[in-house]
Structure formats: structure tokens, C-alpha cells
Amino acid sequence: MTRAFVFPGQGAQTIGMGHDLADAYPTARAVFEAVDDALGEKLSTLIWEGEIEDLTLTRNAQPALMATSMAAMAALQAEGVEIGAASYVAGHSLGEYSALCAAGALSLADTARLLRLRGEAMQDAVPAGQGAMAAILGLDFDTVTEIAAEAARGEVVEAANDNDPAQVVISGHKAAVERAADLAKERGAKRALMLPVSAPFHCALMQPAADAMARALADVDMQSPVVPLVGNVIARAESSADTIRQNLVDQVTGRVRWRESVAWMSDQGVTEIFEIGAGKALSGMVKRIDRAMETQAVGTPEDVAKAATAING
């Protein structure tokens, strides 16, 4: 069996995530403590006892989801599963940072600080209320791209996340996104849902955030990952630290090519995907991309035990 470890992005956050891992595994608790130290605040208290509105703020959600993924990885390692059990790692948007941390390319502290900065920069790139995102369900990527071009009318609206064969997220100026959503429904979309996000991620409006990440990533120590990263913007494996660094900058304004990434891994012989961290959103996408792919979410001690048994045999 060839397997990949994948790491979730924004939207998977829940109050209490990772708490049972921290209770069951001292190494998982140490991950949350290290992230708290790196940020100089008790993010773990917000994750476990806070309000969902505060956790969902981009500046909090990004490092929080990474911490939960790394806690799950620490629990797996405690059960004898190392990152080398996977042939590839990948992550959805911020999950790409989690994947790089898991694969030894970035330290945990640097990853936490980068994601706090990334969250703040993405939030600040567009004034509140001027941007929006919408999920278009039931139309393929090419159709949604055509609709976005038609709806733009001099504004920005782009396909931001190509998630699976029937789910594409669009992003841009609020009015343009609303026009595209209406057009999509006219063209036969099953649903066009405005998303409760604070900024229009993964589109040209994020250029100020991309500039901020270019400066931050230039100053951070990055190693080549011990397991190749299947990158969001290239939808294939990459192991060069310098190339990955540039891809992370491009990712801020670029499309998350998740459907193509999973298809690429399938073409390389990947048959099992383990979703490390909060939620099961990526597992659902994977099954819609390739029904033959086996998926397993790893976010609780019970999940860890099941995954360890499956991997260790």
C-alpha cells in the first residue's frame, strides 16, 4: 500500500479539538504548549475553552489547526508511526504548512509564527466587507472558471479552491462573487453558498499578504522535507526547499489545486490517505475525486490507535 498523509485547512476548527489527544499523549500536549510558547499566548485555552467566533478568526484558526494536526502526528509517533510511513504529504491551504512541519521542513515554533502572520496578513489585505467567497456545488472547474470571467466586470472573482469534481470555491470582490454565484445557479449549480469567511482568500486581492509572506519566508530556516510535498499551486511533488518557499508565496494568491493534487497522487500509486488533524472534510473530497482511495481521519486517540494498527500491521 502506498499512502499519503494530508492536513486540513481553515473551516475544520472546532472548540475542544485535540484536547483528548493532549490528555492521552504527553507528546501531543507538548505540541500545544510549544505553540503557546512560540506565540506568547495561551492559544490552547482558546482552542479548548474559548468561543468559536474567536477561534474562527483567521489569525487564530490557522495556528490552531496546525497545532491540532501536529498533536495528532505526535500521537501517531508515540504509537510507532513515523512520517516516513507516507510516500507523500499534502495540505489544503494552511495545511501545507502543517505538512511541511510534519515532514521536518519547518520547526514547530516557526510554523506557528508563520501561520499567525499569514492569518493576520490575509485578514488585513482587504478591508472588511469588500471581499467574499462562495462554494459552487454541482459544476466542474472549467464551467465555474467561465462563469467567474463573465461575472468579473472589471472586478476580481476567481476560482480559488478546486476541491473536487463538483465543488469549486470562488473568491474576490463581494459584488463580483455574488454575481458569479447567481450566474452559477442559472447555469445549473446545485447550490451556490456564500461562505462565512473574513477575507477573500486565494485570489489576486491577497497580493499584500503574499508580499508579507515573501518577506517572512525569506527569513525562516527551511529544510527539504523528508517526504515530498504535493504542493497546492503545482499539484505535484516537490522536495526543494527553495522551490517550496516560492510556492508558499504563490499559494497566497494562487488556486488550491486539491482535485488535481489527489489525482496526481492516485496516478503515483497512492491508495490510502490519512487525514491528520481536525475534521473529515478532506477525506470527503478525496472520495469524490477517486472512489477507490481508502481514507481515514486521524483526530482522536481512537483514530490514532486505528491508524497505527493499519500502518504498522
Provide the pLDDT for residue 66: 98
Q: Are residues 136 and 177 in the same domain?
A: yes
Q: Are residues 187 and 238 in the same domain?
A: no
Q: Could you read off the pLDDT of 158-176 as tens digits, one per residue?
A: 999 999 999 999 999 999 9
**The pLDDT of residue 23 is above 80:** yes
Provide the pLDDT for residue 248: 98
Mean per-residue pLDDT, 203-213: 98
How many domains, in total, are found in the chain?
Answer: 2
Q: Are residues 41 and 100 in the same domain?
A: yes
Report the amino acid identity of residue 117. L
Provide the pLDDT for residue 196: 84
Query: Domain containing 171 — which CATH number?
Result: 3.30.70.250
Q: Are residues 210 and 188 in the same domain?
A: no
Please identify which of the residues 69, 87, 93, 266 carries the catalytic annotation: 93
Name the pLDDT band for 1 (thresholds 50, 70, 90): confident
Mean per-residue pLDDT, 253-257: 98
Range of the domain at 182: 131-197
CA angle 15, 20, 23 (to 5 degrees): 125
Sign of CA dihedral 272, 246, 95, 31: positive
**The pLDDT of residue 197 is above 90:** no
What is the 3-state secondary structure of 8-72? CCCCCCCCCCCHHHHHHCHHHHHHHHHHHHHHCCCHHHHHHHCCHHHHHCHHHHHHHHHHHHHHH
Are 113 and 38 a contacting pair, CB within 8 Å? Answer: yes
Total Cβ atoms within 10 A of residue 196: 8
Q: Are residues 219 and 287 in the same domain?
A: yes
Q: Are residues 211 and 303 in the same domain?
A: yes
Selection from 144, 108, 95 nearest residue 31 by Cα = 108
Name the pLDDT band for 198 (thresholds 50, 70, 90): confident
**The pLDDT of residue 128 is above 90:** no
Q: What is this structure's pTM?
A: 0.97
**The pLDDT of residue 19 is above 80:** yes
Name the pLDDT band for 84 (thresholds 50, 70, 90): very high
Tracing cell 470582490 back to the chain, one arrives at 173
283 labelled catalytic = no
Q: Are residues 264 and 164 in the same domain?
A: no
Continuous H helices in 79-196: 95-102, 108-124, 141-152, 174-186
Provide the pLDDT for residue 159: 97
Q: Could you say which DSSP state residue 83 is in?
A: G
Please identify which of the residues 87, 92, 202, 266 carries the catalytic annotation: 202
Q: Are residues 32 and 170 in the same domain?
A: no
Q: Are residues 65 and 189 in the same domain?
A: no
Residue 302's SS3 state is helix
DSSP state letters, 164-217: ETTEEEEEEEHHHHHHHHHHHHHTT-SEEEE---SS--SSGGGHHHHHHHHHHH
Q: Which residue, 197, 220, 237, sits at the end of a domain?
A: 197
Round the average pLDDT of the chain to a whole number and report it. 97
Helices 95-102 and 108-124, packing angle to 10 deg: 170
Q: Could you read off the pLDDT of 93-120 as tens digits, one per residue?
A: 999 999 999 999 999 999 999 999 999 9
Q: Are residues 24 and 99 in the same domain?
A: yes
92 labelled catalytic = no
Q: Are residues 89 and 215 in the same domain?
A: yes
| Spatial distance between the Cα atoms of 266 and 235, rounded to a whole number of angstroms | 12
Q: Which residue, 197, 213, 241, sits at the end of a domain?
A: 197
Q: Which residue, 197, 218, 250, sits at the end of a domain?
A: 197
Q: Are residues 141 and 118 in the same domain?
A: no
Query: Domain containing 56 — which CATH number?
Result: 3.40.366.10
Name the pLDDT band for 240 (thresholds 50, 70, 90): very high
Mean per-residue pLDDT, 248-257: 98
What percent of the chain shows pLDDT beyond 70?
Answer: 100
| Spatial distance between the Cα atoms of 240 and 121, rounded to a whole number of angstroms | 25
